[in-house]
Amino acid sequence: MEIGINTSASNSWQSYSRQNSYSIAGMHIFAFSYLTGWVDMCFSSYFTALERPVRSLLTSLLGTLVFPIVSLALLTPIWQLDGVWLTSIVSGAASALFTIMVAATVKVQKKFR
């Protein structure tokens, strides 16, 4: 009968440590998405308030569906798991750029009584 270290417990601890390092790295990458993630939501509400429903719908749809799917499809094959985390940053930046370009074309009409 041998006395030694239980290797299965040691391997599970190493696996947990590796998963923990992946999640911390992912959180550091994902944290930058908060810098651009608000732009499309804010301007979508702005366009709705100006009674521009097409611009509002387009901004919202591109920011929440199209840009994330395209970013995920492009970044994941290149950077694997980091590409998944980078998706939110790239799609947020693309959406913010598109939204600001659309907002620059809006002409607000002042109504006087």
pLDDT computed for residue 17 by the predictor: 82
Q: What is the average per-residue pLDDT within 89-94?
A: 96
If one compares 13 and 19, the residue with the highest pLDDT of the two is 19
4, pLDDT greater than 80: no
pTM of the model: 0.79
6, pLDDT greater than 80: no
Q: What are the structure tokens assigned to 105, written together?
A: 């074309």
CA angle centred on 90, ends 73 and 47, rounded to 5°: 110
**CA 11 and chain centroid, separation:** 33
Check if the beta carbon of residue 71 is closer than 8 Å to that of residue 91.
yes
7, pLDDT greater than 60: no
